[in-house]
Amino acid sequence: MPFVPTTDAERAAMLERIGARSTDELFEVIPSPVRFPRLALPPGEPELTVARRVQALAAANRPAAQMACFLGAGTYHHYVPAAVRALVSRGEFLTSYTPYQPEISQGTLQTTFEFQSLVCDLLGMDVANAGMYDGSTALAEAVLMAERITHRTRVVLAGGVHPEYRNVVATYVAERGTELVASEVTVADAMLCEADPAALLDEQTACCVVQQPSFFGRIGDWAALRAACNRVGALLIIVCNPLALGLLKPPGEWGADIAVAEAQPLGIAMEYGGPWVGMMATREKYLRQLPGRIVGEAHDAAGRRGYVLTLQAREQHIRREKATSNICTSEALLALHTTIYLSLLGPAGLRQAAESCYQYAHYAAAEIARLPGFQVLTPEPFFHEFVVRGPRPPDAMNRRLLAADILGGLPLGRFFPALADCTLYCCTEMNTRAEIDELIRVLSEP
Amino acid sequence: MTESPNGRAAQHTVTIRPEPSGGPPRPSEPLLSELSVAGRCGQRLPMPDVPVTPLPSGSLLRPALPLPELSEPEVVRHFTRLSQLNYAVDTGFYPLGSCTMKHNPKIDDEMAGLPGFAGLHPYQPAEMVQGALRLMWELERALAEITGFSAVTLQPAAGAHGELAGMLMIRAHHLARGETARRRVLVPDSAHGTNPATAAMCGYEAVTVPSDARGNVDLAALERLLGPDVAALMITVPSTLGLFDERMLDMTAAVHAAGALVYGDGANLNALLGIARPADLGLDVLHINLHKTFAQPHGGGGPGAGPVAVRADLEPYLPVPVVRRVGEGVYDLAYDRPQSIGQVRAFGGHFGVLVRAYTYIRLLGADGLRRVSEAAVLHANYLRAALREWYDVAYDRPCMHEVLLSGRRQKAAGARTLDVAKRLIDYGFHPPTIYFPLVVDEALMIEPTETEAKPTLDAFVAAMAAIAREAASTPDVLHAAPHDTPVGRLDEATAARHPVLRWPQTPAPRAESGEPPSATRASR
């Protein structure tokens, strides 16, 4: 068997050393009625045969990345430089594990330290962890962290926070007696209105969560909200799109206490939803409440610089039921994607990627707004997404676009019944003027 | 950008110190920030070919973007050099107990990277992703068959995340029956730390159950703790001591008799494929670590995936969405499930990991999977027999896929388990898991896996024997180990007392006019 090298002769030699007559004998501790069940699975097949099967499943999909894609809503089609894929597929990164032995894990440890540093610089925060499962679970952990810091259990979520992120927060706090309050999203005078969450704050509020840009693309100004949080002693949590931070003021400069982000836009394939990695950063004074792995600088006896897992007294393997979280991964390989992506793009490249998204989105929005019967509801300024209300139901519109090989935006009725006639469109640097013009042509067909 | 965000970078010089082992001096790899030189760039994007829209007001924009600046060749060399500082399954034997560091077929990664999978957006309509949905549905069926359960969710992102989902389902089960008094969760003292941490996250009080002298859960103690206030027992099968509990069926029956459920931690499933189905052992819920048993490489600490399998009456509580077969060869995602615990992660789950697991199960089939577990258990028992002469075996009876040693003898001679582990590095091996489980003094947890060949196991035994002799004769050699690594033992205590968790903050460069610099405009 290709993946189990042991031959019959080797097995016999090992059994003799063990003092057992057969491998079956090693399993005699398992009650015989349940021992050695016959599994009704297809028989194993050679690599070539399996590859054909799996390729056929892949071919039964129609990937967004191979179309003119205007679908975003928390998952984004961006360019992944070739060097990212080349480097992350190195076996030394791919087939190592959690760096429990720092002397032979400096590759993973240093790249993780670099990831933490990049997260801090990009988000404008003091300290970051090594990574969370994704953006949504990073937010859920941020909410739990805010409850620990404030000893309060009321959480205000802005209506512009991704609805699936809000769902995940609700699952995480379900058994903790947390009161979740969300601000409203309405449409008035052909304009989307995201109510100010500041109105919902009170002295029992642990934290207020906002998203930058909002789920609907709007770029918020959080100065007043920061002041409002200060008045009641609530923490400010900002969920952000890290690619937008090539352009936008980072959470740290808005005064965020905790900032989280989904790193997928930075060098990670959409891959039908994962695996990705969540960024999570906070202020220095909250470091001991930060969940997840953290890597720190250390030195050996000869004075050489290296890196180690540190502050482990927060974690489940030491603290057990008193740990900050049960998480014991950092999505290290995905964090490596992002670290390499950011080092390739640098400040000029990331700025340009962000500006391209902004420019294409505004061009598309302006052209759509000109079409008879269409309205763009997201108020200025917006980043790379905007809400469109058109003359036909969103699904019907999308079917028409699909026929022209265009993947339309997200029909919003799925999450917001009041927006059932609306679609969330997204543009990135992957779009071209020709694609957008074709989108406009199909949308304008009678 | 007209200024360097990393002005200090140009002055960086690589530090070269003499090696303690007397070898040639070796420069450490600088940080990205130290390699940065103003004006370098490793990737250019096309300029947008549309009319320019003015940017939002300056108060919404960042004045500075302090990222390192490097060219592509520098980036490639930096990360390649760093990769070479890692020990990995691809480079050598990695017997890290409880982690199942086995070789994963390379075809799995290739399949996950197919554009038909990697290029899918999770919000594409079901009719565009039928291949992906079918793969998920078939994987759910395969995992259900292997574990004996009737329903599976693929959504959890990791083992601990699966625990959270599974324990929330148990909580939902009790609440649906009006059993609000069940506030305690029993956890064996040998358990992985995630178990009590998960119980606490779900609002439960974690209560420890002792192990007995043979490495089983102390059944009498368990029965004393069981009562109307207990929601569940969380157990790992086989246990974290590398053993199959000799009274497994009595244990699960006792839990059920008290009206509680048995949560199974599937971290050690690599021992049970085609050997025993956890559902047949009386488990009610089980999470499965695809990154251990089903071929997702560990990636330096993620990604993984933690699907959860449940018995039929818990199916309504599965996280949404669930994959549903709506007709012959037609699949969709179902969201309308009122009893669901909700979503545990946005956008489904770790689909790329699922592709690898699916490919792996198709490669092996039922017979291949059984041979995996047989070989994994054979190899662990071989190491138990071969190492017994040199080290104490914590529980000397047939083990499952991993063998637990104690370094008591070596400790008495003046070398601790940590020293044994570090000395193994000098012999070219990754050390086993050490000081876990907590119930065994100076624990060394060795998991050889099925993918190692006998000559490798023999070389490992020879190294362990040599280290045992050194521990008795020249323990200082062990204390100073490892001798030939890029860094020696690092001062972790100081690192935790004075944490340095990022490179130095870069002073924000300001553009002269107060206007933010614009990549778009600057080049027009």
| Three state DSSP letters for chain A | CCCCCCCHHHHHHHHHHHCCCCCHHHHCCCCHHHCCCCCCCCECCCHHHHHHHHHHHHHCECCHHHCEECCCCCCCCCCCCHHHHHHHCCHHHHCCCCCCCHHHEHHHHHHHHHHHHHHHHHHCCCEECCCECCHHHHHHHHHHHHHHHHCCCEEEECCCCCHHHHHHHHHHCCCCCCEEEECCEEEECCEEEECCHHHHCCCCEEEEEEEECCCCCECCCCHHHHHHHHHHCCEEEEEECCCHHHCECCHHHHCCCEEEEECCCCCCCCHHHCCCCEEEEECHHHHHHCCCCCEEEEEECCCCEEEEECCHHHCHHHHHHHCCCCCCCCCHHHHHHHHHHHHHHHHHHHHHHHHHHHHHHHHHHHHHHHCCCCEECCCCCECCEEEEECCCCHHHHHHHHHHCCEECCEEHHHCCHHHCCEEEEECCCCCCHHHHHHHHHHHHCC
**Domain-embedded: residue A302:** yes
- Residue whose entry in the numeric block shows the structure tokens 């099968």: B237
Which sequence spans correspond to the domains of chain B?
Answer: 1-85+493-524, 130-364, 368-492
Interface test with A, best of B86, B114, B127, B173 (most A CBs within 10 A): B86
The confidence score (pLDDT) of residue B27 equals: 62
Token representation of residue A278: 């969540």
- Residue whose entry in the numeric block shows the structure tokens 């962000």: A354
Q: What angle do CA A383, A389, A391 make, to 5 degrees?
A: 145
Cβ of A308 and B495 within 8 Å? yes
Of B119, B303, B451, the CB nearest to A334: B303
CATH of the domain at A416: 3.90.1150.10
Whether residue A313 sits in one domain with residue A254: yes
CATH fold of the domain at B130-364: Aspartate Aminotransferase; domain 2 (3.40.640)
| pLDDT of A62 over the 80 cut | yes
Number of neighbours of residue A241 by Cβ within 10 angstroms: 26
Question: Could you tell me if A89 lies within 8 Å of chain B, comparing CB atoms?
Answer: yes
Cβ of B42 and A349 within 8 Å? yes
Whether residue A236 sits in one domain with residue A197: yes
Cβ of A2 and B246 within 8 Å? no
Chain A stretch 103-132, residues whose beta carbon is closer than 8 A to a beta carbon of chain B: 103-108, 110-114, 116-118, 120-122, 124, 127-128, 130-131
Closest CA to A350 of A110, A81, A136, A114: A81
Tally of structural domains, chain A? 2
What is the torsion angle, in degrees rounded to the nearest 10, for the CA atoms of residue A378, residue A382, residue A385 and residue A387?
0
Length of chain B: 524
Cβ of B86 and A96 within 8 Å? yes
Closest CA to A403 of B126, B123, B330, B128: B128
Contact A349, B40 (CB under 8 A): no
Of B164, B482, B503, the CB nearest to A117: B503
The confidence score (pLDDT) of residue B26 equals: 57
Q: Do domains B130-364 and B368-492 have the same CATH topology?
A: no
Strands of the A385-389 sheet, one edge to the other: A375-376, A385-389, A422-426, A410-411
Token representation of residue B452: 């190692």
The confidence score (pLDDT) of residue A175 equals: 86
Whether residue A170 sits in one domain with residue A267: yes
Whether residue A389 sits in one domain with residue A273: no
Question: Could you tell me if A9 lies within 8 Å of chain B, comparing CB atoms?
Answer: no
- Residue whose entry in the numeric block shows the structure tokens 């969370």: A132
Domain end (from A341, A363, A394): A341
Contact B83, B334 (CB under 8 A): no
The amino acid at residue B300 is G
For every residue of B165-188, which 3-state class applies, written as one string?
Answer: HHHHHHHHHHHHCCCCCCCEEEEE
Domain end (from A275, A310, A341): A341
CA distances to A331, B152, B167 from B156, rounded to whole Å, are: 13, 11, 12
- Tell me which residue range forms the domain holding A70: 64-80+347-444
Whether residue A274 sits in one domain with residue A173: yes
- Residue whose entry in the numeric block shows the structure tokens 């970078």: B9
Contact A405, B22 (CB under 8 A): no
Contact B429, B460 (CB under 8 A): yes
Whether residue A356 sits in one domain with residue A378: yes
Contact A237, A402 (CB under 8 A): no
Averaged pLDDT, groups of 10, chain B, 524 residues long: 37 45 65 96 96 95 95 98 97 96 97 98 98 98 98 98 98 97 96 94 95 96 98 97 98 98 97 98 98 96 97 98 95 96 96 98 98 98 98 96 97 96 98 94 98 98 98 96 96 96 71 39 31
Contact A236, A255 (CB under 8 A): yes
Strands of the A205-212 sheet, one edge to the other: A127-128, A278-282, A258-262, A235-240, A205-212, A154-157, A179-182
Closest CA to B194 of B227, B161, B152, B223: B161
Size of interface A-B (CB pairs under 8 A): 704
Domain end (from A341, A367, A395): A341
Whether residue A113 sits in one domain with residue A160: yes
Cβ of B61 and A86 within 8 Å? no
Q: How far, in Å, CA of A10 to CA of A33, rounded?
A: 30
| pLDDT of A222 over the 70 cut | yes
Whether residue A70 sits in one domain with residue A195: no
Cβ of A97 and B67 within 8 Å? no
Helix (H) or strand (E) holding B309: strand B308-310
Helix (H, G, I), strand (E, B) or coil at B235: strand
Model confidence at A446, pLDDT cuts 50, 70, 90, reads confident
How large a percentage of chain A has pLDDT more than 90? Answer: 96
CATH of the domain at A100: 3.40.640.10
Model confidence at A318, pLDDT cuts 50, 70, 90, reads confident
The confidence score (pLDDT) of residue B10 equals: 38
HSE-up (13 A, CA, CB side) for residue B251: 30
CA distances to A47, B273, B368, B450 from A1, rounded to whole Å, are: 12, 16, 8, 11
pTM, to two decimals: 0.95
Helix (H) or strand (E) holding B324: strand B322-327
Which residues of chain B make contact with A333, given a CB cutoff of 8 A? 297, 299-300, 302-303
Q: How far, in Å, CA of A302 to CA of B17, rounded?
A: 8
Q: How far, in Å, CA of A206 to CA of B383, rounded?
A: 53
**Domain-embedded: residue A24:** no
Cβ of A272 and B68 within 8 Å? no
Of B45, B381, B430, the CB nearest to A429: B45
Which residues of chain A make contact with B90, given a CB cutoff of 8 A? 91-92, 94-95
Contact B356, A95 (CB under 8 A): no
The amino acid at residue A356 is S
User: How far A342 CA sits from the closest chain B CA (Å)?
Assistant: 8
Q: Decide: residue B213, CB within 10 A, 0-12 exposed, 13-18 middle, 19+ buried.
A: exposed
Q: How far, in Å, CA of B334 to CA of B331, rounded?
A: 10
Of B96, B196, B374, the CB nearest to A320: B196
Is this complex's ipTM strictly greater than 0.95?
yes
Whether residue A365 sits in one domain with residue A278: no
CA distances to A76, A93, A251, A261, B251 from A384, rounded to whole Å, are: 10, 33, 18, 16, 56
CA distances to B186, B188, B237, B245, B508 from B208, rounded to whole Å, are: 6, 5, 17, 17, 52
Q: What angle do CA A73, B159, B253 make, to 5 degrees?
A: 130
Q: Which tens digits make up the pLDDT trace of A239-290?
A: 999 999 999 999 999 999 999 999 999 999 999 999 999 999 999 999 999 9
Which residues of chain A make contact with B203, given a CB cutoff of 8 A? 175-176
Whether residue A140 sits in one domain with residue A234: yes
Helix (H, G, I), strand (E, B) or coil at B368: helix
Cβ of A108 and B86 within 8 Å? yes
Across A111-125, average pLDDT: 98
A238 φ, ψ to 5°? -115, 125
Strand partners, A279: A261
Question: Could you tell me if A37 lies within 8 Å of chain B, comparing CB atoms?
Answer: yes
Q: How far, in Å, CA of A340 to CA of A307, rounded?
A: 18
DSSP 8-state code for residue B104: -
The amino acid at residue B484 is D
Cβ of A108 and B366 within 8 Å? no
Whether residue A439 sits in one domain with residue A331: no
The confidence score (pLDDT) of residue B505 equals: 77
Token representation of residue A229: 């949080």
**Domain-embedded: residue A265:** yes
- Residue whose entry in the numeric block shows the structure tokens 């609000």: B180
Interface test with B, best of A108, A271, A333 (most B CBs within 10 A): A271
Query: Could you tell me which CATH number the domain at B368-492 has?
Result: 3.90.1150.10
The confidence score (pLDDT) of residue B507 equals: 52
The confidence score (pLDDT) of residue B85 equals: 97
Q: What is the mean pLDDT of chain A?
A: 97
Which residues of chain A make contact with B96, given a CB cutoff of 8 A? 97, 100
Characterize B440-471 residue by residue with b for buried, 16 or more Cβ atoms within 10 angstroms of its Cβ, and e for exposed: bebbbbbbbbbbbebebbbebbebbeebbebb
**Domain-embedded: residue A16:** no
Whether residue A127 sits in one domain with residue A68: no
Chain A stretch 285-314, residues whose beta carbon is closer than 8 A to a beta carbon of chain B: 287, 293-308, 310-313
Token representation of residue A264: 């997928």
User: How far A187 CA sits from the closest chain B CA (Å)?
Assistant: 23
Which residues of chain A make contact with B62, given a CB cutoff of 8 A? 124, 245, 247-250, 253
Beta strands in B365-486, from DSSP E residues, in sequence order = 392-393, 403-406, 433-434, 443-446
The confidence score (pLDDT) of residue B446 equals: 98
Q: Decide: residue B31, CB within 10 A, 0-12 exposed, 13-18 middle, 19+ buried.
A: buried
User: Nearest residue of B to residue A1 by CA position?
Assistant: B368
Beta-strand pair A179-182/A154-157: parallel
